[in-house]
Amino acid sequence: MTPRQNRTRDRAERGIPEATVARLPVYLRALHTLQERGVATVSSEELAAAAGVNSAKLRKDLSHLGSYGTRGVGYEVEYLVYQISRELGLTQDWVVAIIGVGNLGRALAGYGGFASRGFRVAGLLDADEALVGQEISGMAVEHIDRLEEIISGRRVSIAVIATPAGAAQKVCDRVVAAGVTSVLNFAPVVLSVPDGVDVRKVDLSIELQILAFHEQRKAGGPDGYAPPASGEDPPGAAQYVEAVEA
Amino acid sequence: MTPRQNRTRDRAERGIPEATVARLPVYLRALHTLQERGVATVSSEELAAAAGVNSAKLRKDLSHLGSYGTRGVGYEVEYLVYQISRELGLTQDWVVAIIGVGNLGRALAGYGGFASRGFRVAGLLDADEALVGQEISGMAVEHIDRLEEIISGRRVSIAVIATPAGAAQKVCDRVVAAGVTSVLNFAPVVLSVPDGVDVRKVDLSIELQILAFHEQRKAGGPDGYAPPASGEDPPGAAQYVEAVEA
DNA sequence: AAGCCTTTGTGAATACGCGCACAAAGTCGC
DNA sequence: GCGACTTTGTGCGCGTATTCACAAAGGCTT
């Protein structure tokens, strides 16, 4: 994605691989668990096991942040928690707005994982007049007409889109226009955004379909499944649509 | 993950790359949208744009399923929908059980994306006696004690874990013991499962943290952000824990 | 019927990520 | 104070993924 800037500084300090960034939160969670148990020091082997990764990978990931381990001993849990938190930007607070207060939006509003990691939900917005004013998880739902005002007024930097698919792109355009540069999208659509805006997608249906693919493989026998005749002309090409439509 | 079986047959028919599998559902969704609009034929360029990927990548992905395009014309939408659906295993029905009926479980139970893609929710389970018997999205919540009976009796092949973190591993062990080989995990823990069982994880908090990382970079200036002094000895090493704890 | 134009399918080059294996570095026991 | 032992940090090779660029293939026009 950003290949050119990787040679400006040489490792640590700049250019942490995307794959590493994606694992840091996992390490962080494992470290928090260790911390609760009162563990002061952990080896790469132990932490890797807790995080479900290879220990060499863990060490390489951590080496991108600097040399925070002690050879022969391991890593100091507390210090590592701090370093990873800082690298991820969790030592500062991030203001989040949730747009769309359906079932999913409600679940997100009540999700404990927000507050505990420096994410503060500062707004719940919906287009449904009947919802506006209702209180969800101790916060009143506001009308989406006030989106721009809320986003800039409360310095929202991350927007969580939990609207129906049809509304998502329009909402996205508006939050971006209002200054948001990070979007977490739960709507089942591909959002298009200008350069400089990050979008991450969470899509239940896609995850299930990936599982179904592997499940189908497994069902075909342990040694190898051949997908149903993939070079043939299926008889009756017209009616196969029904099989997958709602 | 499975490198040895890739040479048994030569491309198509066997060994679709994991990265490709992960994109097929995206293509499928884009194709459904086109279908609703009455589009009969689509070029790789158009479909790639709709799916948010490079067109060469799209063509290579599709080539793993076989040669379903016509040079000079493009792909027949309906036929491609069928081929991808079949490859993903969506031409058959998959029986899903949702374990944990909190906010998130409720949202999942009501999620339309299940039914519309061949996923049938056949059970909602929870440990809370107060919830058992309640109806959620037209389905009665059942007690988790009946998990084994429900899973084998109703031929559940995919388990969705939406329990609190503390309960997830135990629930996972039970569903696996009962015969489930595909798990979609929403609990913020790393599940360990025996070989042959697939686990996919959806984790809101991790996604937010990844966004925060990039947001922090952007905030440091358009040309390059240097993370706060990553080789230094921070003064007062003891109190930095508070910054990220609940 | 022939040639032009569009679009696929893929070879080749490049970038990226992973994991092994080991040297360097530091601790701990004696 | 020294040697043995542990564990980090990383060089290296391998496999996968991505993208470019183009030849092959097919339709369409004249």
Domain ranges of chain B: 3-88, 94-202, 205-245
With 50 as the cut, is the pLDDT of residue A222 above it? no
Summarize pLDDT for B97-144 with one digit per residue, the tens. Answer: 999 999 999 999 998 888 778 999 999 999 999 999 999 999 999 999
The three-state DSSP-derived secondary structure of B11-45 is: CCCCCCCHHHHHHHHHHHHHHHHHHHCCCCEECHH
Cβ–Cβ contact B216 with A under 8 A: yes
Is B22's Cβ below 8 Å from some Cβ in A? yes
Interface touch B14/A226, C-beta < 8 Å: yes
Place of tokens 């009947």: A130
Nearest to B103 by CA among B172, B162, B166: B162
Give the separation between CA B232 and CA B58, rounded to whole angstroms.
Answer: 46
Band (B14; pLDDT cuts 50, 70, 90)? low
Please give the pLDDT value at position B15.
Answer: 85
A20 touches strand D (CB under 7 A): no
- Which among B156, B161, B188 is positioned nearest to B172, based on CA atoms? B161
Numbers of helices and strands, H then E, in chain A: 9, 10
Per-residue confidence band for A114, with pLDDT thresholds at 50, 70 and 90: confident
Which residue has the least CA–C1' distance to nucleotide C6?
Answer: B72
Q: Which CATH number fits domain A3-88: 1.10.10.10, 3.40.50.970, 3.40.50.10150, 2.30.30.40?
A: 1.10.10.10
Which of B213, B233, B241, B242 to probe by mutation at the A interface, max A CB count within 10 Å? B213
Residue A115 has a pLDDT of 79
List the single residue in B78, B209, B234 with the smallest CB-CB distance to A241: B78
pLDDT tens digits, one per residue of B203-218: 999 999 999 999 999 9
Residues from chain B that touch A102, judged by Cβ atoms under 8 A, are 107
Using a CB-CB cut-off of 8 Å, the residues of chain B touching A183 are 211
State the average pLDDT over residues B155-166.
Answer: 97
Q: Which nucleotide has its C1' atom closest to residue B67's CA?
A: C9
pLDDT value of position A27: 98
Distance from CA of B246 to the nearest CA of A (A): 4
Residue whose C-alpha is closest to residue A8's, from B212, B229, B214, B226: B226
pLDDT of B30 above 60: yes
Stretch A215-241: mean pLDDT: 51
| CB contact A200 to B (< 8 Å) | yes
Q: Percent of chain B at pLDDT above 70?
A: 84
Note whether B3-88 and B94-202 share their fold.
no
Fold of B94-202: Rossmann fold (3.40.50)
What pLDDT does A15 receive?
85
Reply yes or no on whether the pLDDT at B153 is more than 90: yes
Enter the pTM of the model.
0.87
How many angstroms separate the CA of A50 from the C1' of D1?
38
Q: Label residues B61-88 b or e (16+ Cβ within 10 Å = b).
A: bbebbbebbeeeebbbbbbbbbbbbbbb
**Does B90 sit within 8 Å of A26, measured CB to CB?**
no
